[in-house]
Structure 1
Amino acid sequence: MCRARRKLVKKQQRKRRRQKQAKERDKLEEEAQNLRLLQPDYQKWLQKQQEMEEFQRLVAEREHQDAEECWLRCEAIAQRQFRIDEAKRRREQEEVDRLQREQAKERAEREETQRKQREEELRKAAKAAAEFDAMMESMAEYLNNPRVEKPPKHLLRVMETQPGERPCEFFSRTNCCRYGHACTFNHRRPMLARILLIRHFFNHSMLREQRTHKEYASAEEHLELTEQDLRSDYDEFFDDAVEELEKFGQIVNFRTVRNTLEHLRGNVFVEYTNERSALRAFTSLQGRFYASKRLSVEFSNLKTWRGAVCGT
């Protein structure tokens, strides 16, 4: 207990001594400060310090004001940019909506046009089917009724591929065209006529373009086909074809085109004495086969045989 008390007393004594020393130090500093205040140089220094502190305060206020103004400007710029972006986004969205509306309108118009086209095609198909049925009835009546001497006028009309266009001269002369349905000129073809055109009816290797391979260029001549072979094969074909075609009526002309061009090769023209015989042959030959090939038969309106056959 005594030791602790002494320890506490010593501690309090040290504390009082420190407090006393601190007071004396503060008193000395205060006296020194008072002495310095009386000195003109120190007063000038204090005044400068005050001026500097005031200047720093003003600078700080100015910087704060500038920073605030800069922030306000940045905020104003950001707000303006936001409004610009928002307006741009609205314009883009409006443009997208407009394009979508236009596309929807175009799609609707296209669908409506397609619907009308389908309806028109169905109407034309129905009309064509009705015309075809009426034509077939007329043909059947003309074939089966011997009292009707002349064919009905509506069976004698001419069909055109390009109405209003200039007639295809080659088709008018030969009833054939290398361009077929793709020809831009007008092909006039009769619904009924005394002449039948059977495309590629006669088939022979000598009518195809001859391209002799160099390996066989020196082959013996007696091993190759000759004009005599072509004539012999054609005579056999002629006898066979005429015998079959005469079942439908009397034949006036039987002409075969000798030409290596693909659209003319082996075409056969058969002319009957009247349209009834030609129509009977036409209806009977449709869909039939000859030499493993399906026959393609149509009516022809040739003007002269020389233009159709000679020189081709």
Structure 2
Amino acid sequence: MVNIILKIKMGRHAEWRKIAKKERRKRIRIIKAKERDQIFCTDWYIKQQELEEKMIHEQINKQNDEENEKWIQAEKIVMEQWKKLQEEKERLKQKCLEQEAKLKVEWELEKKKKEIEEQRIKAAQEELKRKQDIFMNNLDLFLSGDSDEPPAELNVMRETRPDAELCPFFSKTACCRFGDLCSRNHQYPGISKVLLATNFYNHFGLSNANVSEYDTDIMLEFEDSDTYKEYKEFFFDVLSEFEKFGRITQFKVCNNYEKHLRGNTFIEFAELRCAVAAYRSLHTRWYGGRQLSLQFCNINSWKNAICGLQLRQRCPKGRACNFLHVFKNPNNLYNGYYTHESVQEKDSTPRSSERSWRWSESPEKEVSKRSSSRRHERSDRRSHRSRHREEKNKHYRRTSPRRSERR
């Protein structure tokens, strides 16, 4: 019971003590606040506060001035960059305008130059056509027999490089591997007794004689005898057509492998009028699906034009020689070098009565016959290939080392 009373009394005292401490702290705070207020109300404190506020305002103003200065400087830099960019854009724009104006001027100059060139080419073509018409009219007058001697317009000599030396190969063979691009002079006669048909005789054995590195066996199926066999047909077919215009004194066909000589056909007539008539009639004619291109040329000496070592089969360059390697004509016709040795009687040469299917005015005529003949040629080639393979297999069986060991 006593303990309970003591605890009650002790509990009440603790609460009282707590309240007393709180009131004591409150009185102390009030006293300090009064002291502080007394201090704040003094002139010194007020001055100190004003000085602090002034210093703070000065620092803020200083920072603001610095920031404004930085912003102004940055704005100046940006404005300078913007001005430079605008100047660069203006300069590029001006440059583009100048370039467009320059291109426009160049295009106009090029257009004008092109028009002048077209007019020049047109005038040159018209002049060439006019000269060709005059040339053909003179040929017709000469062929009509109005004058024994050819007119002066036909005896002109066209030169590729008048100031240069004469090309030795062209002077001898009327052919040059460089053509008109040769650094030396080529002389083309207006008319002459000799006609040249460039690359007239065409055969697989000539055009594919230079063996390709990718197809080394291409020429195993063709021999010189095949080429010569077709040449004989070509010889009698073409010779009969040219002999209609007059007596022929030379007929040479090249079997060279070089492109500027391959298949070139030379026809020399006894009379100038005959050569002119043949040119007038056969130029741009069609033979075997190919257009014939004739030109007049000068062969001063057949002996100098034809390779002398060819007849003895001792030419070191073979058929790649730049002198003429010619086929041996059938029946020994026109095989000599000189005119009096080469003239043959008409009756001694066999001629076919029927006109060959190869001659035509245009390539569209007689297509069916040509296609059938081509099919026959293909079949002949296939049979020739099969025979060649059989012979090759027989030779292999005879010379095989295994068979020799068995024997």
TMscore range, shorter length = 0.7 to 0.9
**Equivalent residue runs for 1:18-167 within 5 Å:** 32-33=35-36, 35-36=38-39, 43=44, 48-144=48-144, 146-161=145-160, 164=163, 167=166
SS at match of 1:247: helix
Code of the aligned partner of 1:160: E
Distance in 1 between residues matched to 2:269 and 2:87, nearest whole Å: 83
SS at match of 1:299: strand
SS at match of 1:151: coil
Q: Is the 8 A contact 1:201 1:266 kept in 2?
A: yes
Structure 2 residue aligned with 1:252, among 249, 252, 274? 249
Identity %: 26
Code of the aligned partner of 2:169: F
Deviation larger for 55-64 or 260-269: 260-269
Counterpart of 1:8 in structure 2 is none
Distance in 2 between residues matched to 1:292 and 1:78, nearest whole Å: 80
- Flag the 1:130–1:72 CA change in 2: closer, same or farther, 3 A: same
Code of the aligned partner of 1:82: W
Code of the aligned partner of 1:133: D
Shift of 1:292: 4.6
Structure 2 residue aligned with 1:286, among 283, 287, 295? 283
Shift of 1:159: 2.4
Q: Is the 8 A contact 1:201 1:267 kept in 2?
A: yes
Distance in 2 between residues matched to 1:215 and 1:255, nearest whole Å: 28
Q: Is the 8 A contact 2:250 2:269 kept in 1?
A: yes
Code of the aligned partner of 1:35: Q
Residues 168-216 of structure 1: CA deviation (Å, up to 9, x unaligned): 4433332223344555554332221111112334456665628697699
Code of the aligned partner of 1:155: L
- Flag the 1:186–1:48 CA change in 2: closer, same or farther, 3 A: farther
TM-score by length of 1: 0.74
Distance in 1 between residues matched to 2:78 and 2:34, nearest whole Å: 60
Shift of 1:165: 5.1
**Equivalent residue runs for 1:148-297 within 5 Å:** 148-161=147-160, 164=163, 167-180=166-179, 183=182, 185-203=184-202, 207=206, 209=209, 226=225, 230=228, 237-297=234-294
Q: Is the 8 A contact 1:199 1:296 kept in 2?
A: yes
SS at match of 1:263: coil
Distance in 1 between residues matched to 2:38 and 2:273, nearest whole Å: 152
Give the root-mean-square deviation of aligned CA atoms. 3.5
Gaps of 5+ in 2: 1-29, 309-323, 325-407
Residues 134-164 of structure 1: CA deviation (Å, up to 9, x unaligned): 11111111110x2411111221112234555
Distance in 2 between residues matched to 1:194 and 1:120, nearest whole Å: 34
Gaps of 5+ in 1: 1-26
Shift of 1:244: 3.0
Distance in 2 between residues matched to 1:188 and 1:104, nearest whole Å: 45
Residues 204-260 of structure 1: CA deviation (Å, up to 9, x unaligned): 66656286976997x9xxx96549x93x76566544444332221222222232323
Shift of 1:130: 1.3
Deviation larger for 152-161 or 172-181: 172-181
Distance in 2 between residues matched to 1:196 and 1:203, nearest whole Å: 18
Counterpart of 2:298 in structure 1 is 301
- Flag the 1:59–1:104 CA change in 2: closer, same or farther, 3 A: same
- Flag the 1:275–1:63 CA change in 2: closer, same or farther, 3 A: same
Distance in 2 between residues matched to 1:173 and 1:157, nearest whole Å: 19
Distance in 1 between residues matched to 2:197 and 2:50, nearest whole Å: 125
Deviation larger for 190-199 or 28-37: 28-37
Distance in 1 between residues matched to 2:141 and 2:218, nearest whole Å: 61
Q: Is the 8 A contact 1:256 1:309 kept in 2?
A: no
Residues 270-296 of structure 1: CA deviation (Å, up to 9, x unaligned): 222332111001111123334454322
Q: Is the 8 A contact 1:189 1:300 kept in 2?
A: yes
Q: Is the 8 A contact 1:255 1:309 kept in 2?
A: no
TM-score by length of 2: 0.58
Q: How many residues align?
A: 276
Q: Is the 8 A contact 1:170 1:176 kept in 2?
A: yes
Deviation larger for 262-271 or 98-107: 262-271
SS at match of 2:195: strand
Distance in 1 between residues matched to 2:101 and 2:39, nearest whole Å: 90
Q: Is the 8 A contact 2:196 2:264 kept in 1?
A: yes
The structure, 1 or 2, with the larger RCO (C-alpha pairs under 8 Å, 6+ apart) is 1
- Flag the 1:64–1:235 CA change in 2: closer, same or farther, 3 A: closer
